[in-house]
Copies of this chain bind each other. A is one copy, B any other.
Amino acid sequence: MAEEIISGKLAGDKVLLGPKAMPELYNQGYFGRPTGQGLELSLVEAAYLLDRSRVCVLSASDDMELDFQALFQISSSLEKGFEFRYVVYKDLRERGYIVQPGRPDFRVYPRGGHPGKSPAEFYVLVISERTPLSLKEVLQPVRVAGQMRKKLMLAIVDEESDITFYEAREKSMAGQMEVAQAGGVATLLEDRVVLWDESASKRFHEHGFYGQPVGGRLQLSLVESAYLLERELVRLSDRSGAPLNFDSFRNKARMIEQDFDLKYQVYKDLRDRNLVVKTGFKFGSHFRVYKKVGGLESVPHSEYLVHAIPQDYIFHLQAVSRAVRLAHSVRKQMVFAYPEGEVKYLEIRRLRP
């Protein structure tokens, strides 16, 4: 039996189909929502089915049949972001997923799953590459999804309508590095700290992977120095030999590095969680993070790139794309750290649905 073209009528931002649609479209593909009298399609679903000649759509006013171009232009006027949702819906359907409209944009069922058989696996948020996205706008659906035991999928549509899929999720961070032993006196030079004592330099570098050895000495970064100072593991002085306590050092560090407080808060939290934290400069992030560094003969691969962001951070999706792609190219996870009372962590990773 050839597939029958089912006729529907545009009504507001829905297309209403008669009872025949139930066996043809709902039972075979889970398009639309059953209403009792028939089936209700969203505009995205209607445009998709019209393009595949599964339905025809009549205009609300004069019962004229709308072609794809006409329905697309009407839908694009009625719904902000229609074009983005359409390309994402089409892409996921063509990959064989059952997709239903939902919050924030779609629900996607696991491969082989459908309504009534299995719960949805993903909530999908569709975003244009151009739209700046605040941290809050990501966290809200991440948390809703988490509460419903779903994953949050970000579907980012670029200017050429190509889609990149990400998963965003809250992450707990923990390592296995024990605390370093105290000892040594260091000097704050122009914008970094040198630990002069050779045996202390060796110890901090070998047990904790602090600093960079330069000759027999150890150059420490500002966050490393602040941490060792706050933990009372080193003593510090300025170039004239005057001792610096944690508060006076922090004041100087703030002058040198604009976002010192944010970076240090994250550095401290990660070190306190027994992770080994080093600069991520070569990877364009604040930190690269190891779960454990045993000895310097075999420094392991670092697991994470961590970038510290403020609570009111606005993601520019081009930069997110770059950060995640780079992290994956060096087999690391990309994690954004933000203060919310304590420090919290958001992982964004590429999905290949």
Contact = CB atoms under 8 A, between A and B. Distances in A.
B282 A191 contact: no
Interface residues on A, range: 35 or more
Contacts of A158: 279, 281-282
Interface string A269-301: 000000000110111110000000000000000
A177 B300 CA distance: 47
Contact of A325 (B191, B283, B318): B283
Copies in the complex: 2
A246 interface: no
Contacts of A323: 284, 322
Contact of A194 (B72, B281, B329): B72
A73 interface: yes
Nearest to A52: B215
Contacts of A133: none
Interface stretch (A8-16, A24-32, A77-85, A115-123): A77-85
Given A160-B219, A219-B160, A219-B161, A325 B239 contact: no
A189 B325 contact: no
Nearest to A187: B73
Contacts of A326: 284, 322, 325-326, 329
A189 B321 contact: no
Interface in A294-353: 317-319, 321-323, 325-326, 329-330
Interface of A: 51, 68-69, 72-73, 76-77, 80-83, 87, 90, 128-130, 158-162, 164, 187, 189-192, 194, 196, 211-212, 214-215, 219, 221-224, 239, 256-257, 278-279, 281-285, 317-319, 321-323, 325-326, 329-330
